[in-house]
Structure 1
Amino acid sequence: MTAVGDVAAAPPRRRRRWGARVALGAAGAWLVFVAAHRLLSGRAWWWNLPDLLPPLLFVAAPLLLLVLVPLARPARLWCAALLVAALALGWPVAGVNPATLWHRPAPAPPDAVTVFSWNTWYWDQMLAAGPGGEPIHDPDRLYRYLHAQAADVYLLQEFLYFTPEWDPVPVADVDRLRREFPGFHIAVAGELLTVSRFPITLERPLDVRPWLDREWDDLPPADSRMPAYHTVKTLRTDLLVDGRVVTFYNSHLHVPVVGLPARAPDTADDGLARHDLRQASIRALAADVADNPHPVVFAGDLNTSPAMRLLRTLPDRLVDATAALDSPYPVSWARYGLPLWRLDWLFTSADVDVHEYRMVPPDGLSDHSGQFAVVSP
C-alpha cells in the first residue's frame, strides 16, 4: 500500500522535476545559441537574421535567466554554470564598453585634427513627402548642422538621393557644397563624400568586385544612374596634414539583410549576395591597408553591430577607438525615436592618438548619430 505521506509528497516532487527541466533547458538552449552565434556569425550567410539581434541581449538574457536557478534544484549548480558560461561567451559581443571607467585619452596637441563621420540619410532629402508625393529637401538645415561640427575632415555617407522606385541618383547641387566649404578639398565616389581642409594627395575608391567569392551579373545594374554606389563602399583619401600624409578611409558597408535572408534574383534582395559584398568590402580594405605606409583613420557606417563577427575581421593594424567614448554602452543608431545599438565605428592605426571621441545627436536629420573625434598622428 502507498502511504498517505507519499501521495502528498508526489506532486511537489513532480513540480520540482518540471521546474528543474525548464531551468536547465532554458540555460542550455541559450548557451547553445550563443555558441552557434559565435561560430556562424560572419561565416554563414543564412545566419544574417540572428545577426540582427540586439547586442545587449547577450548580457541581458543570461542575467534574466538567473531567476530560474532556484527552480533547478537539485541541479542549481549546473544551471548557474551554464548561464555563467553563456554570459562569458556573449560578453565580448554585447557592445558594453567597460574601458570608459578607466581610459583617459591624452590631451590633444594644438595641431590635432578634428574628424566628423556621419551617415546623412540621403543627404538633404527628407523622408517626408510634399503634397504631390515628391521628396522634401532642406539643404539649409543640413549645412547648418555640418558647419556646427567645425571639423577639419568630414567623412560623409549617403551623399545621394533615391527615386520613388528606390534607385540611387547623384546629388545635383554639388556647386553649393563647394560654396559652403570654400577652400576645402572634395572627393566623391558613389555615395561616399570626403570634405577636407587639408590637400588631397591621393583619391582611391576601393572596388569590391575583385574580392567577391562569386560573380553577380547585376553588379552594377545595367540601368543604374550611379554605378559606383553598388561597387564602392570605401573611399580612401590621403591628406597632407602639416607636411605629413595621413590616410582617411570613409566607409559604408551594405546592410546585411533586406527582408528575410532568402535567395532572390538580384543582389539588392539576395541574402547571399549581401553577405558576399560585405566580406569583399573588408577584404578590399585589408589589402589596401596592408600596402599603406601612412597613419590611418578609418570611420563610417559599417552596418555592423558589436554582435557581428564581421567587425572582428578588420585588419589587425586597425585599433578600435571605442575606449575613448564616455559611454558604457555606445549607441549610434535609432529607430522610432528609440536608441537601439551601434552601427558606426572609428578605428585608427596604432600611430594615431585619439584624444576625444563622442557620438553627436543627428538633430532629426538622420537615423544615425555622427561621430566626432580629435586625432593626431
Structure 2
Amino acid sequence: MTDTQVVTATAEPRRARRSRWSRWATWSVLSASVAWLVFVALHRALSGRVWWWQVPELLPPIVFAVVPVLLLAVALPARLARGWITAVTLASVVLGGGVSGLNPASLWHRSAPAPADAITVFSWNTWYWDQPAAGGAMPPPTGTPPREIADFYRYLRDQRADVYLLQEYVYFGRDSKPIRVDDEARLRREFPGYHIAVASEMVTVSRFPIVSERGVDLRPWLPEERDVTIPSSPDLPDFSTVKTLRTDVRVGDGTVSFYNAHINSPVDASPPGLDPRRLNRTQHELRQANLRALAADVEKNPHPAVLAGDFNASPAMGIMRLMPDRMVDATPVLGSLYPTSWDDRWPLWRIDWAFTTPDVTVHRYELVRSKGLSDHSGQRLVVSTSP
C-alpha cells in the first residue's frame, strides 16, 4: 500500500508538469501565430506606401511561405487550441501567399512554340560594367572573383540575343560618384551591325534599327508638396533622374518598344551596397516617381512593348503595385517554383523582372546565372508580336 501511494504521488506532479508545459507551449505557438498574422497584415497594408516600412521589406520573400509551414508543424502535436492555431496560420498563408515569391504557375504553364521570326531579348545588370576587370577607380567589392574583359563580352555574345537591355553601364569613383562609361567602340566591334542607344546608366544594343530613343525622366512625378533633394552626379547628371531607357526599334513592318529599366534602390546608392542604415524617405519617393513615370509613358505608347531590368524590388515589396496596368508579368513562363536573381552567388531574392504588353507573347523565359561576372542573374526571353 505504501509503494502504491509513493508511485501515485510521484506520477501526479509529473503529469502536472507535462500539462503546464503543454499549455505554455500551445499558447506560445498561438501567440506566435497571431503575431505573424498581424505582421503580414501590416506588411500588406504598409509595404510600398510608407518609406519607414522598407526594413521589413528586405526579408527574403520565401519567409512568407516558410514561417506558416513551421508554425503548422509545431502546432500539430498540440492538443489545446490546435484549431485556433491552424485557422490563424492559414489566414496568414492566404494573406501573405501573394508576396512569397512562389510561382505555382510553373507547375502547369505551357508556352506556345516560338515562330521563326521570334525576338530573343537579354536583360542584365552588369555590376558596374567591366569595372572590376578594367581596374576602375573604385576597387571591386570584397569577395569579387577575378574576371577578364574578354569573359564579360563572351558572356554577352553567348546569349545570342537580338536585343540587349543592359544596366549599370557606369563606373564608380573612390568618392562614390558615378563615372560615365564610353565603351561604344568596343560594343560595335563585339556586335557588328547592331545599333546602340544610351541614357544615364542604361545601354540598349539592338540588331534591329533604332527609330527612336529617350530616357524617361522621373522628376515630373516627384511629390509636389515636398522639395525632394536629388543626389548630384557631376559626371553623369541624369544618373539619379533617368532610370529607364525607352528604345523603339523597327521589326519587320512594325515598331516594338523596349524599356530598359533600373529602378532606384531602396537605399542611398552612394556608396553602392545594401545597407539598411541608408534607407530614407527620398529613396522611397524616387522609386515611386520612377515607376509612375514609366507607367505614364507605357500607357501613352501605342506600340507593342517589352519591359525588363533590375527593379530593386522583390515580390514582397508593395511598390510593385505601381507597375503599368498594360504590362503583363512574364513570371508564369519561368520554369522555377521559386525564381531568384540576386545575389547570384547566394540567391534568395528576385529583383529582376520582365513584362510585356498583351500583344507580345513570351515563348521562353529563363534566368541565366552570371558565372561570377555580376551579382545579378541575366534574364533571357524569346518573344513575338501579334500581327
With structure 2 as the length reference, what TM-score do the two structures score? Answer: 0.89
Say whether the 8 Å CA contact 2:265–2:312 is kept in structure 1: yes
Partner of residue 152, structure 1: 162
CA gap of 1:351–1:172, structure 2 versus 1, over 3 A, is closer
- Whether the 8 Å contact between 1:156 and 1:192 is mirrored in structure 2 is yes
| SS in structure 2 at match of 1:346 | strand
What does 1:97-176 align with in structure 2 at a 5 Å threshold?
Answer: 97-126=103-132, 138-176=148-186
Matched, 1:43 2:53: no
Give the drift of 1:216: 2.5
Cα distance in 2 for residues equivalent to 1:153 and 1:327: 24
Partner of 1:274: 283
Unpaired runs of 5+ residues, structure 1, are: 263-268
Give the distance between the partners of 1:141 and 1:129, measured in 2 at CA: 15
Name 2:327's counterpart in structure 1. 318
The count of aligned residue pairs is 365
3-state SS of 2:132 partner: strand
| Cross-structure match for 2:298 | 289
Residue correspondence of structure 1 range 189-228 to structure 2 within 5 A: 189-213=199-223, 214-217=226-229, 219-221=230-232, 224-228=234-238
- Aligned mates of 1:220, 1:207 — CA distance in 2: 14
Is the 2:171–2:179 Cα contact (8 Å) retained in structure 1?
yes
5+ long unaligned stretches in structure 2: 1-7, 141-145, 269-273
Letter in 2 for 1:356: R
Match 1:348 to one of 346, 356, 360? 356
Q: For 1:293 and 1:19, how far apart are their aligned partners in 2? A: 60
The one-letter amino acid paired with 2:240 is H
Which residue in the other structure is 2:239 paired with?
Answer: 229
Q: Residues of 2 paired with 1:137 and 1:59: CA distance?
A: 37
CA change 1:56–1:270 in 2 (3 A) is: closer
SS in 2 for 1:333: coil
Question: 1:102-125: CA deviations, max 9, x gaps?
Answer: 111111111111100000000001
Pick which of 174-183 and 54-63 moved more: 174-183
Instruction: Identify the residue that residue 187 of structure 2 maps to in structure 1.
Output: 177
Aligned residue for 2:318?
309
SS of equivalent residue, structure 1 residue 114: strand
RMSD, matched Cα: 2.2
The superposition leaves residues 179-235 of structure 1 with CA deviations (integer Å, 9 ceiling, x where unpaired) of 222211111011010011111111121111110113323x241x6211111111111
Q: What is the CA–CA distance in structure 2 between the aligned matches of 1:105 and 1:174, rounded to whole Å?
A: 36
Identity of aligned residues (%): 55
Q: Is the 8 A contact 1:28 1:82 kept in 2?
A: yes
SS in 2 for 1:334: coil
Q: Deviations over 1:146-174 (max 9, x none)?
A: 11111100000000111122111011332
Change (3 A) 1:113 1:127: same
1:234-284 CA distances to partner (integer Å, 9 max, x unpaired)? 11111111110111100001111356656xxxxxx4510110011001100
Q: Which of 9, 17, 21 lines up with 2:23 in the alignment?
A: 17
- Deviation of 1:9 after TM superposition, in Å, equals 5.1
Distance 1:26 1:371 in 2: 38
The superposition leaves residues 28-66 of structure 1 with CA deviations (integer Å, 9 ceiling, x where unpaired) of 001111111111110010000100001000000010111
Partner AA of 1:338 in structure 2: W
Q: Return the alpha-carbon distance in structure 2 between the equivalents of residues 304 and 39 of structure 1.
A: 17
Match of 2:34 among 28, 31, 40: 28
Q: Name the structure 1 match of 2:343.
A: 334
Q: State the alpha-carbon separation in 1 of the partners of residues 291 and 259 from structure 2.
A: 12
1:23–1:71 Cα contact (<8 Å) kept: no
Alpha-carbon distance in structure 2 between the residues aligned to 1:12 and 1:182: 76
> Is 2:98 aligned against 1:88?
no
Residue in 2 aligned with 1:242?
A: 252
Tell me how far apart the structure 1 counterparts of residues 133 and 48 of structure 2 sit (CA, whole Å): 31
Greater shift in the superposed pair: 181-190 or 291-300 = 181-190
Contact 2:134 2:149 in 1 (8 A): no
Q: How does 1:49-68 map to 2 (within 5 A)?
A: 49-68=55-74
Distance 1:7 1:152, change over 3 A: closer
- Sort the Cα spacing of 1:137 and 1:172 in 2 relative to 1 into closer, same or farther, 3 A: farther
C-alpha contact (below 8 Å) 1:116/1:372 kept by paired residues: yes
| Cα gap change, 1:21 to 1:374, in 2 (>3 Å) | same
Flag the 1:7–1:364 CA change in 2: closer, same or farther, 3 A: closer
